[in-house]
Structure 1
Amino acid sequence: MLQRFTSLFPIWAIVLSGIALLYPGIFLPYKDAIPFLLGLVMFGMGMTLALEDFLLVFKRPKAVVIGTVLQYALMPLIGFVIARTLSLSPELTAGVVLLGCCPGGTASNVICYLAKGDVALSIVLTSVSTLISFIMTPLLTWLYIGQMIDVDMHGMLVSILQIVIVPVALGIGINTVFASRIDTVRHSFPAISVLTIVFIIAIIMALNRETVISAGILIVVAVILHNLLGLASGYGLSRLMGLNEMEARTIGIEVGMQNSGLSVALAIKHFTAVAALPGALFSIWHNISGSFVASYWAERNISE
Structure 2
Amino acid sequence: MQEKLPAMQTNILTEVFLPISLAIIMLGMGLGLTWDDFARIVKFPKSVAAGLVNQLLLLPLVGLLIVSTIPITKELAVGLMVLAACPGGVTSNLITHLSRGNTALSITLTAITSVITIFTIPFIVNFSLDFFMGKEANIELPVGKTMIQIFGVTLVPVAIGMFIRKKASAFAEKADRPVRIFSAVIFALIVLAAILKERQNLPEYFRTAGLAALLLNLATMALGWFSGAITGIPYEDKISIVIESGIQNGTLGIMITATLLENPAMTVAPALYSLIMFMTGGLLIIGFSRKRQLAEA
Question: Which TM-score band applies after superposition, normalised by the shorter structure?
Answer: 0.7 to 0.9
Establish whether residue 65 from structure 1 lines up as the match of residue 56 from structure 2: no
Gaps of 5+ in 1: 1-23
CA distance in 2, matches of 1:146, 1:236: 32
Q: Which residue of 2 aligns with 1:284?
A: 275
Q: Which residue of 2 aligns with 1:171?
A: 161
Cα shift at 1:182:
4.0
CA distance in 2, matches of 1:207, 1:138: 28
- Going from structure 1 to structure 2, the CA distance change for 1:167 and 1:238 (only over 3 Å counts) comes to same
2:31 and 2:173 in contact (8 A); partners too:
no
Cα shift at 1:77:
1.6
CA distance in 1, matches of 2:257, 2:197: 12
- Going from structure 1 to structure 2, the CA distance change for 1:220 and 1:300 (only over 3 Å counts) comes to same
| Range moving further from structure 2, 201-210 or 160-169 | 201-210
Establish whether residue 249 from structure 1 lines up as the match of residue 233 from structure 2: no
Provide the secondary structure at the position in 1 that maps to 2:291: coil
1:28 and 1:203 in contact (8 A); partners too:
no
CA distance in 2, matches of 1:194, 1:44: 10
Q: Which residue of 1 aligns with 2:119?
A: 135
Cα shift at 1:208:
4.5
Establish whether residue 52 from structure 1 lines up as the match of residue 43 from structure 2: no
Spell out the pairing of 1:22-171 with structure 2 (5 A cutoff).
Answer: 28-33=11-16, 34-147=18-131, 148=133, 149=137, 150-152=139-141, 153-171=143-161
Cα shift at 1:259:
0.5
1:111 and 1:253 in contact (8 A); partners too:
yes
Identity of aligned residues (%): 26
CA distance in 2, matches of 1:40, 1:207: 23
Number of positions where the alignment pairs a residue of Structure 1 with one of Structure 2: 278
Q: Which amino acid aligns with 1:171?
A: G
Provide the secondary structure at the position in 1 that maps to 2:40: helix
Q: Which amino acid aligns with 1:256?
A: G
Deviations 1:172-220 (A, max 9, x none): 1111221124444333212331332133214432564565343322312
TM-score, normalised via structure 1 length: 0.83
CA distance in 2, matches of 1:254, 1:212: 27
In angstroms, what is the RMSD of aligned CA positions? 2.3
- Going from structure 1 to structure 2, the CA distance change for 1:49 and 1:239 (only over 3 Å counts) comes to same
Establish whether residue 212 from structure 1 lines up as the match of residue 196 from structure 2: no
- Going from structure 1 to structure 2, the CA distance change for 1:32 and 1:298 (only over 3 Å counts) comes to same
Deviations 1:78-126 (A, max 9, x none): 2222222222212111110000000012112222223332111111111
TM-score, normalised via structure 2 length: 0.85
CA distance in 2, matches of 1:214, 1:248: 36
